[in-house]
Structure 1
Amino acid sequence: MLFKAKVDKTFLLVIVLLVPRTSSGSRSHGDSDGFFENIKDIFENGGAVAVKLFVDKELNEWKDVRINLAVLGTSGTGKSSFINTVLGLTADDEGSAAVGVKETTENISEYPHPQYPNLVLWDLPGVGTPNFNRENYSKKVNLYRFDYFIFMTSDRFRDDDVWLAKQVNALGKLFYFVRNKVGQDIRNNKYDHPKSHSDAAVLDDIRHNCEHNLQKLNLDRKIQIYLTDLHEPEKYDFEKLMDQVISDAPEYKKEAIILSMTHLTNTLIDRKKEILSERIHYMSLLSGLTGAIPVPILDSAVDIGILTEEAMFYRAQLGLRDEMLEAFAEKSQMTIEQLTNNLDLQSRIIGLSAKGLVSYFTKKGMKKASTFTSAKFIKYLLPLFGNAVSGAASYAMTSWCLQDLLDVMVQDAIKINEYKMHWNN
């Protein structure tokens, strides 16, 4: 009983002293005081096991939130390229949508995200075919199940597209009009008018033409046209479209769609950082639970395991996995070493293993030693070397380490994204 009382007291110290009272980490709990009281009640009623189950649920709940994005348009408009770009795939990858195949979509095809299968893109047949006419389309396709609709064209929006948009609007569903292949239009105009050509003028003409054709909708809201070229997704309006899709998401789906998107924009990087920062409090609670119960040897392994697992999640979320960087380096006609050096990618020097993290944070700590007294610094470094310490110290050390890892990776993601924008312009 005395040991249990000591453990309870130590863990409650973690909650009282270290769980932020005024942070965004309260997530869906409203105010942070409510979050604090909730954790305290869970611990008092069910102990450390109950808290761990609660934290696991909070961290992974987004994976069960399904997002269905429907893509419509006639053959040749670039639907498959759009689907693959959103999913972070090429036409050669398993599970991608076929590109360059001359066919008319006659069936409903679904493409789940390879890493986050809760995000599903659907290639829908157009209206006007014998199997999918205006009379039976809504029922056969079941329009109610989709969260978003992307209407795609590479010339003009047809009457059937306009009709379907009205049906979607009547259901209260979100929809966006995408005029694809504008890069091809710009190149053609430049070839035809070498003296008078202007990229901006061509884009303005395309936008005005789309707006004119869509006036038939007679909706009481402004229709936004997004100009894209999926061969160059960093140019034109593709990233603006993705940012708008996220902004329009209902609150209960917003976290899921932010974490499921892998084609990064600067706005998406910022939003991912906000959510990943919130996760730090939860991961540190898990580390605090470990630190609060002094189990020799296991104490260090659990802390390092938490750091490694979460750092790998950051790396995937921010487009820094080895295969992602290798593909980008090849596209940029560089080796992975050249890419790392040219962009000064600091996350590449961090080994995501027990040995690598101990080495990294030891060096990091030496550089920051001036901000700590010697005794205090040694106390914070102890969890990495297998010493049993209090839950409070374990929470503090885990928070500091995870925030450092996140900051480094966010900066690298921004460097890569800015390079992409500069390279494509």
Structure 2
Amino acid sequence: MATLHTISEAEIQDISSSITSRVVTEVVAQLQDRLGELKSTTLDIAVTGESGSGKSSFINAFRGVGDEDPEAAKTGVTETTREAIPYVHPNMPTVRLWDLPGIGTPAFQPKTYLEVVGLYQYDFFIIVASERFRESHVTLAQCIGQAGKKFYFVRNKVDNDLEATVRRRGGEPSAILNQIRDERGAALRRSGVQQPRVFLISCFQPHLFDFPLLHTTLESELEGHKRHVLLLALPNLTSTVLEKKKQALHGSVWRTAMTACLGAMTPVSAASGTVPLLMDTLRSYQQSFGIDTNSLHRLASLTGKSYQELQREVLSTTGQELSQEGVQTMLSQAAVGQQVVANMLENRVPVLGTIASGGISFLASYYTLTSAINDLGEDAARVLSRALKGCDQEQDDVPDPGDFY
């Protein structure tokens, strides 16, 4: 007759520990997958138009890169390419702007053109013109729309037209811009484009005219992770963009903090450690707000300000060069209050002490990241104000796209 085996308390603890370890490992894996989805989401933006319309300058301005930058799209050259050329965003490598072959030539055939450049690989199209929109623009837009893709008309070099019109016959700049916009929109509607969206921009003054409005419109019409990556890739032209970036980053803080907390409890993740994970996250925050060294150098080149002048506006600790010791100090300061409680619990009930320590790791990580987002947002606002100081014109935040249209 078989005898029943009595499970000892030690065996129960081993089983409980094993189950807990597996659950923690699975939760960490799921959290890491969600964070990985955000990092790996791609956004492909097609930029097309006639040769000489300023496509390359638009691509550079959208990426916050000067025309003379080594990473810039080449400008001022005769277009001969028959292939789409991708340009990666300097801070968001999963965001790519594609310089498509020029349109408007006698050999241009919209349907063939879209097949050649790979219509369905792009999330939306920017159709650029430097003067009026022609039949080739209209035909291309109609083909893009029939394929279910969104498109936006960009009227480039509007600063030249505005200056010439004011000099020739006077008038208020805002009234002249509205007239240009109305005329271009009416012409496109007469040509068969329903509800055309026309944005008047200057690639050499991206903080003025409709460039910020274009950014806001694109962000509002994307969904999910693609909206998130576009928002973080946008140049900091207005306080509205900065505030939206803060909101987007706050939305994923708890996942990062929980991954750091639970990861420290699993043998595989513990090897990488909480501090390196937080350092990588804080560096990505710096890039999103455009206050890392490379971003500040690019902004200085674009605005004519010195790097040192812009860098002096970065006052927060998390905006400076990060080190493991510095991040560890931030975590320690955030956890100092809860650590007393954890020590008391660990002395009396070791299991509760372990749980409390995990809670401290989460709270300390969460507080550190949340504070960093707020501080870096304030740094970015000061940098933006300094970068635009002394401009001939400064533009307030753009209105909601719904009001505009």
Give your verdict on TM over 0.5.
yes
Residue 13 of structure 1: aligned partner:
none
Corresponding residue to 2:190 among 216, 229, 234: 216
Corresponding residue to 2:275 among 283, 290, 304: 304
Cα distance in 1 for partners of 2:310, 2:236 equals: 19
Is residue 64–residue 299 contact of structure 2 (8 Å, CA) maintained in 1? no
Residue 254 of structure 1: aligned partner:
227
Is residue 246–residue 254 contact of structure 1 (8 Å, CA) maintained in 2? yes
Aligned residue identity for 1:286: T
Cα distance in 2 for partners of 1:276, 1:178 equals: 29
Residue 129 of structure 2: aligned partner:
153
Corresponding residue to 2:324 among 338, 350, 354: 354
The offset of 1:151, in angstroms, is 1.1
| Residues 78-227 of structure 1 mapped to structure 2, 5 A cutoff | 78-103=54-79, 106-129=82-105, 131-134=107-110, 136-193=112-169, 196-220=170-194, 222-227=195-200
| Residues 371-386 of structure 1 mapped to structure 2, 5 A cutoff | 375=340
1:311-364, Cα deviation, whole Å (9 max, x unpaired): 1111111111112123334555554444344x46324664411222345567x7
1:240-284, Cα deviation, whole Å (9 max, x unpaired): 101111111133532233344455543333333223223221222
Cα distance in 1 for partners of 2:271, 2:119 equals: 52
Cα distance in 2 for partners of 1:377, 1:217 equals: 71
Residue 410 of structure 1: aligned partner:
377
Q: Does 1:58 align with 2:34?
A: yes
Q: Does 1:393 align with 2:393?
A: no
1:188-225, Cα deviation, whole Å (9 max, x unpaired): 234435xx3432233123212212321224344x3221
Cα distance in 1 for partners of 2:341, 2:308 equals: 37
406-415 or 125-134, larger mean C-alpha shift: 125-134
C-alpha root-mean-square deviation of aligned residues, in Å? 3.5
The offset of 1:184, in angstroms, is 1.5
Residue 402 of structure 2: aligned partner:
none
Runs of 5+ in structure 2 lacking a partner? 1-10, 345-352, 395-405
The offset of 1:121, in angstroms, is 1.5
Is residue 292–residue 392 contact of structure 1 (8 Å, CA) maintained in 2? no
Change (3 A) 1:122 1:170: same
| Residues 232-381 of structure 1 mapped to structure 2, 5 A cutoff | 232-251=205-224, 253-262=226-235, 265-290=238-263, 292=265, 302-329=273-300, 332=303, 334-341=305-312, 343=313, 345-347=315-317, 350-359=320-329, 375=340
Change (3 A) 1:3 1:416: farther
The offset of 1:308, in angstroms, is 1.5
Is residue 132–residue 140 contact of structure 1 (8 Å, CA) maintained in 2? no
Is residue 311–residue 405 contact of structure 1 (8 Å, CA) maintained in 2? yes
Report how many residues are paired: 373
Partner SS state of residue 96, structure 2: strand
The offset of 1:182, in angstroms, is 1.1
TM-score normalised per structure 1: 0.75
Change (3 A) 1:398 1:102: same
Change (3 A) 1:420 1:396: same
Change (3 A) 1:300 1:337: farther
Is residue 83–residue 101 contact of structure 2 (8 Å, CA) maintained in 1? yes
Using the aligned pairs only, state the percent identity.
27
The offset of 1:180, in angstroms, is 0.8
The offset of 1:177, in angstroms, is 0.8
Cα distance in 2 for partners of 1:107, 1:374 equals: 60
